Structure 1
Amino acid sequence: MYTYTVFFHSFFRWLVLISLLMAIGSSIHGLITARSYSKTDKFLRIAVNTICHTQLIIGLVLYFALSPITGFFIKNGAGGNGEIRFFGMYHLAMMLSSIVVATIGSALSKRAVSDSQKFKTIAIWFSFALILILSAIPWFRPLFRNL
C-alpha cells in the first residue's frame, strides 16, 4: 500500500506543478491582453484547487498512516537525521502552507469584481503557492517514484 501511495503522490506532484503553471500563465496572458475572464480560466482555477487538495489528501495519508519515515518522526523526533526532519516538519509545513495560499487565492479571485482583478489575484497567489511548493519538493529524491 505504501509503495502505491508514494507512486500516486509522486505522480500528482507533476499535475500540481503543471496545473499551477497553466493557471499562472493564463492569468498573466489575461492581464497582458486585457481579455475577459472565461470559463476556461474558471475551470483552471477549480482544477488547480482540486488537484492540490487531492495531493494534500494523499500526502496526509502517507504522513499519518503509511510512511515509515514520518512514523519514526512522530514517535522519536528527527534524531539528527536531515531526511527525517525534512519530511517530518519542513515538507508538511510548507506544503500545507502552499495549499492554504492557493485556496485563499482561488477564493479571492472568485469574489473579485473585474476580470483584471481575477487574473491579478490568481497570478499573485498561485505564484506564491508555486514558490512554496518548489521550495519543499524533495529534490534529493527521484523526480518520479516508480512502483
Structure 2
Amino acid sequence: MYIGFQHLHSYIAYIVLAVLLGVFFYTLINFINKKTFTESARKISLAGLIAAHIQLLIGLVLYFISPMGISNFSGEAMGDAMSRLYMLEHPLTMIIGIILITVGYSKAKNGKDDAGRYKKILIYYGLGIFLILLRIPWSVWP
C-alpha cells in the first residue's frame, strides 16, 4: 500500500503542477488583457484548488503510512537533511502553499472588481506555487 501511494503521489504531482501553472498563466493573460472575471475563470481557478487538495489528501495518507513520515519524527532525524525534508519541511511547506491557494480562491470568489479578483489569484496562487516548487524533493522525484 505504501509503494502504491508513493507512486500515486509522485505522478499526480506532474498533473497538479501543470494545472496550477495553467491556472496561473490563464489568469495572468486575462489580467493583462483586462477581461471580465467570468464564471469560467472562477471554475478554472477552482480546478487548481481541487487538484491541490486531492494531492494534499494523498500526501497526508502517505505521511502517516510512510516510514519516512510521522513515524520518523525524532530529534535524531532532524540532523539528517533528507529525513528532515520528508518528515517536516516538505509536508509543512506544501500545506502552507495549499492554504495560500485556498485563500486566493476564496478572496477572488468574493471579490468585487475583476482586476482585483485576478490579482488575488495571481498573488496567492503564485506564492503557493512558489512554495510548492521550493520543497519538492527534486533529487528523488521520478
- TM-score of the superposed pair, with normalisation by structure 1: 0.90
- For structure 2, the 5+ residue unaligned runs are none
Runs of 4+ in 1 over 6 A off after TM superposition: none
Give aligned-pair identity as a percent. 29
User: Residues 40 and 81 (structure 1 numbering): CA distance in 2 closer, same or farther, change over 3 Å?
Assistant: same
Deviations 1:73-127 (A, max 9, x none): 2366516221111111100110010011000000000011111111111011100
SS at match of 1:34: coil
Number of equivalences:
142
RMSD of aligned Cα (Å): 1.5
Corresponding residue number in structure 1 for 2:32: 32
- Structure 1 alignment gaps of length 5 or more: none
The question of whether the paired residues in 2 share the 8 Å contact of 1:30 and 1:116 is answered with: no
Displacement of 1:31 in angstroms is: 1.2
Aligned pairs for 1:57-96 (under 5 A) are: 57-64=57-64, 66-74=65-73, 77-78=76-77, 80-96=79-95
User: 2:118 maps to which residue?
Assistant: 119
Per-residue Cα deviation, 1:17-55 (whole angstroms, up to 9, x for no partner): 111111111111111111122233112111111111111
Aligned residues of 1:73 and 1:84 also touching (Cα < 8 A): yes
Cα distance in 1 for residues equivalent to 2:139 and 2:3: 18
Maintained 8 Å contact 1:105/1:125: yes
After superposition, the Cα gap between the structure-2 partners of 1:89 and 1:32, relative to the gap in structure 1 and judged at 3 Å, is same
Q: CA separation in 2, counterparts of 1:138 and 1:69? A: 13
For normalisation by structure 2, the TM-score amounts to: 0.93
2-side partners of 1:39 and 1:72: how far apart? 44
- Pick which of 54-63 and 33-42 moved more: 33-42
Checking the alignment, whether the CA contact within 8 Å between 1:12 and 1:51 is kept in structure 2 is no
Equivalent residue letter for 2:36: S
